[in-house]
Amino acid sequence: MDGNSNLNHDEIDLINLFKSLLDSWKLILSITCFFTILGVLYVKSTPLTYQAVARLQVETQHQHLDFHVNDISNLFISQSTANTEIEIIKSRMVLGKTVDNLNLTLYSSPIFTPIIGKKIAYFLGDVPEIKISLLITPENNNKSSGNRDGNYIVKISDAKKGLYDFLNKNNELIFSGEVGKLVNKNGYQLLILQLDGEVGQKFFIKKLNRYNTVSSLRSRLSITESGKDTGILQLSLIGSNPLRMEAVLNDIANNELAQNIDHNALEAAKSLSFIENQLPEVKQELDIAENKLNAFKVSSDSIDMDYQAKSTLNVLASVESKLIDLGFKESEISKLYTKEHPAYVSLLQQQRALLKRKAELENEVSAMPKTNQKIITLNRDVMAAQHIYISLINKVQQLRISQASTVGSVRLIDSAETSPAPIKPKKALIVVLATLLGGMLSIAIVLLKKNFMRGIDDPRQISSLGLPLYATVPYSVNQSKLLKKNKSSSEFNEEVMLLACLYPDDLAIEAIKSLRTSLYFSISTAKNKIIMISGSSPDLGKSFLSKNLAVVFSQAKKKVLFIDTDMRKGKSTKVFNLKGKNGLSEYLSYQTNLDEIVENSNVENLDVISCGSIPPNPSELLMGNRLSELMEWANENYDIVIVDTPSLLAVTDAALVGKYAGANFLVGRFKKTSIHEIEVAKERFHHAGVEITGFILNSVEKKISNTYGYYNYSYVDK
């Protein structure tokens, strides 16, 4: 049973919580719309940021060496990786050239009104523009220039003719110029190609430091490899000018391609130069070897070798030629692989096999006659020199062909292109987030307000105090208008204040009429016909209720007396347009008689006793015997007596008056009067010997969560 009870209680709380949100739908909607508008304004006033993208391919050559001399051109193609190329592209060698080519060190920007000028310009889509092709200033070469920081201002003097003024940082005129015409004056050179804006629009221009410009470009440039080990590099650049970004990105890509080709060609050129320098020496060595061989033949009377010697010589020469070729290959392969690589291991194995065979042949030669040994040795030298010389000649030809047809290891796949949709700001996302933020914030405000609000917002809260709820009087728009009219009016009459007279069909008056019915039957069993209306604090509407209650009783053909006992701030004289100068304070202080303080109001069957002049001791006057005499007289001469008292928690006057009344009512204001205030007021009345008959909740707002509504005015038995 307890579990079900808790469950039902939670469900009721959730329902009430939802109803509370519905009650505050105007606040929630207002805050949400406000944030939505802020989001739209932010999106409209924020510069659009675009992204330009280009793609490069880094080709990695996997050389399968078959040890043929004609593969030498592959050696001069850089074996770069994607990561290496990324660092090269970000280097000052590449980016610095782009900065120089596109004159990126020249910075220009419109000067806006502080704080909001830039936002307004972007919101209206009317951003001034300037395009400068050349700027040379004296401080570029003269460190003693008075404007060392290089800050200048261009001011439009005639927008239609394209005229402008060139100013220094102190707004002093240096010279005037015209768009499209080069100005060369006093060490300054300036060429402006485009100038858009109103007359008087200023632009800030400055020559930036090259190093800082390259660093800034590097920070905005993003390079990533698409996939893993694909060699496809994606270059992206962000900025607000799509055409400018595409030009910058294309220039970066072209610079990378050019340096890659130049690098490969440079390696081939170095190798070609080295070999060409070696050719004369090799040719000289060949000539010397041939001369020695010829000289030996002459001195030996042209002795020929036998068949075995010739065969051994040919085989030995072939082995040495192969060793020479392997030597070339080893110099090439050592640049690509380590000695543990299979290709390198295979080459070394061939070298060892050939060296072994060479040693065997040399042993055979050593066993031959001295003359054969000598002629074989000389022929070996000639044949080796010839082989080296011919190999170098072939390499020179190959290198020249390779140099003439050099290609890089990097190629352009996609040139720079900017997406038509900006990457920032995300318009739809920002507006949606702003709307959600406004909705959540407004809901949080409503919930916090409900959680920390001390005032009564549900008539059912009164039942916890043990006080019968006699009426809930709804908030009256007409009464609010009357109060505003009263504040702005120099004259005052009863028709301005009394809602019951001017708007008898108002919902608040209908509630008071319902209260009148309940009070009529309650008074019939009370000790007298005196009804006291009081409240715990000021501005709860007790005077409004008591005065209008007196009127609705008089409209029911009852003889009514209204007594204003608030001798500090009573306003009954103005409300009822009374002419007498005497009131309750004069009567209680024995300055006048009873018949001089009772006045007829403009309302039929309603008499009024005003508060009179403000005395120095209101509480002491209420403690005198004359108040008792007044109440006895009023009870005997009137059908209903309505007594309006000051707030109880401010002064004790209400407690002094309450002991003479047959019915005492506390008034509370919706969302203002707290449960604690009512408890304290009730306790004070109790200590003074006054029992509270019931409670009246005033200015109740129409709420979905208020199940009582406006028409549920019930009398509760004591």
DSSP letters for 167-189: EETTS-EEEEEETTS-EEETTEE
- CA 643, CA 664: separation in Å to the nearest integer? 9
User: Would you state the pLDDT for residue 70?
Assistant: 42
Q: Is there a contact between 400 and 229 (Cβ–Cβ < 8 Å)?
A: no
Residues 389 and 292 in one domain: yes
Query: What pLDDT score does 389 carry?
Result: 78
- Specify the pLDDT at position 268: 67
Whether 495 and 382 share a structural domain: no
Q: What local confidence, expressed as pLDDT, does residue 76 receive?
A: 42
**Has residue 33 got a pLDDT over 90?**
yes
Shared-domain flag, residues 374 and 474: no
The answer to the question of residue 41 being in a domain is no
- Per-residue CA distances from 570 to 62, 507, 551, 624 (Å): 105, 26, 17, 20
Q: pLDDT digit string (tens) for 133-176?
A: 888 888 655 544 444 456 888 998 988 888 999 998 888 888 99
Question: Is the pLDDT assigned to residue 103 strictly greater than 50?
Answer: yes
Q: Is residue 97 part of a domain?
A: no
Choice among 263-277, 463-477, 517-531 with the minimum mean pLDDT: 263-277
Determine which of 48-62, 85-99, 256-270, 334-348 has the lowest per-residue pLDDT on average.
256-270
Residue whose C-alpha is closest to residue 699's, from 495, 570, 539, 578: 539
| Rounded-to-integer distance, Cα 576 and Cα 547, Å | 9
% pLDDT > 90, the chain:
19
pLDDT in tens, 571-605: 777 777 777 678 888 888 888 888 888 988 888 89
Q: Is 270 a residue whose pLDDT tops 80?
A: no
| pLDDT score of 619 | 86
Can you give the pLDDT at residue 705?
Answer: 55
Q: CATH no. for residue 601? A: 3.40.50.300
Lowest mean pLDDT, pick from 236-250, 446-460, 574-588: 446-460
200 found inside a domain: yes
Q: Is the pLDDT of residue 340 over 80?
A: yes
Is 236 inside a domain boundary?
A: no
Task: Looking at the structure, tell me whether residues 284 and 136 fall in a common domain.
Answer: no
Q: If pLDDT is split at 50, 70 and 90, which confidence band does 257 have?
A: confident
Q: Which of 107-111, 272-276, 638-642 has the lowest mean pLDDT?
A: 272-276
Query: At 365, is the secondary structure helix, strand, or coil?
Result: helix
Same domain flag for 194 and 270: no
SS3 of 581-614: the string is: CCCHHHHHCCCCCHHHCEEECCCCCEEEECCCCC
Note whether 291 and 360 are same-domain residues. Answer: yes
Q: How many domains does the chain have?
A: 3
Q: Does residue 19 carry a pLDDT above 60?
A: yes
Quick one: 357 and 467 in the same domain? no
Residue 124 pLDDT greater than 80, yes or no: no
> Which pLDDT tens digit goes with each residue over 457-491?
777 778 778 888 999 899 888 888 877 776 655 55
Lowest mean pLDDT among 22-31, 386-395, 708-717: 708-717
Comparing 248 with 482, the larger pLDDT belongs to 248
Whether the per-residue pLDDT at 36 is higher than 50: the answer is yes
How far apart are the C-alpha atoms of 191 and 591, rounded to whole Å?
A: 99
Choice between 519 and 295, residue whose per-residue pLDDT is larger: 519
The gap from C-alpha 455 to its chain's centroid, in whole angstroms, comes to 38
pLDDT of residue 531: 93
In this predicted structure, what is the pLDDT of residue 713?
39
pLDDT of residue 696: 92
What pLDDT band is residue 387 in, cutting at 50, 70 and 90? Answer: confident
Task: Give the residue among 656, 623, 639, 650 at the shortest CA–CA distance from 542.
Answer: 650
Peptide bond into 420 cis (omega under 30): no
Residue 14 lies in a domain: no
Q: How many CB atoms lie within 10 A of CB 349?
A: 10
What pLDDT is stored for residue 709 in this prediction? Answer: 45
What residues contact 541, with CB distance under 8 A and at least 6 apart?
473, 535, 667, 669, 698, 699
Task: Give backbone dihedrals phi and psi of 130, rounded to 5 degrees, phi first.
Answer: -145, 140
Do 291 and 186 fall within a single domain?
no
pLDDT in tens, 293-305: 777 767 766 556 6
> Does residue 235 have a pLDDT over 60?
yes
Q: Is residue 18 part of a domain?
A: no
Identify whether 96 is part of a domain.
Answer: no
Top mean-pLDDT range of 222-226, 356-360, 601-605: 222-226
4 inside domain: no
**Residue 71 pLDDT:** 46
One domain, residues 270 and 402: yes
Identify the domain containing residue 511 by its residue range: 455-700
Q: What is the spatial distance between Cα 209 and Cα 541, in angstroms, rounded to a whole number?
A: 74
Instruction: Say yes or no: 483 and 572 in one domain.
Output: yes
* Predicted pLDDT at 147: 46
Sheet strand arrangement including 598-600: 469-474, 694-700, 663-669, 530-535, 640-644, 560-564, 606-609, 598-600
On whether both 202 and 269 belong to a single domain, the answer is: no
* Lowest pLDDT segment from 401-405, 490-494, 648-652: 490-494
> Quick one: average pLDDT of 268-288?
76
Q: What is the mean pLDDT of the chain?
A: 80
* Separate counts of helices (H) and strands (E) for the chain: 22, 20
Structure tokens at 124: 């209206």
Alpha carbons 78 and 93: distance in angstroms, whole number? 17
110 pLDDT higher than 70: yes
Which residues have a Cβ under 8 Å from the Cβ of 130 and sit 6 or more positions away?
108, 110, 154, 192, 194, 195, 196, 197, 203, 205
Question: What is the β-pairing status of strands 129-136 and 188-196?
Answer: antiparallel
Both 393 and 468 in a single domain?
A: no
pTM of the model: 0.52
Amino acid 497: pLDDT: 65
Q: Kindly state the tokens that stand for 531.
A: 């009804």
- Among 463-477, 640-654, 692-706, the least confident range: 692-706
CA pair distance 434, 36, nearest whole angstrom = 5
Query: Among 102-106, 456-460, 476-480, 630-634, which stretch is predicted with the lowest mean pLDDT?
Result: 456-460
Q: What is the pLDDT of residue 488?
A: 59
**Does residue 219 register a pLDDT over 70?**
yes
d(CA 417, CA 178): 33
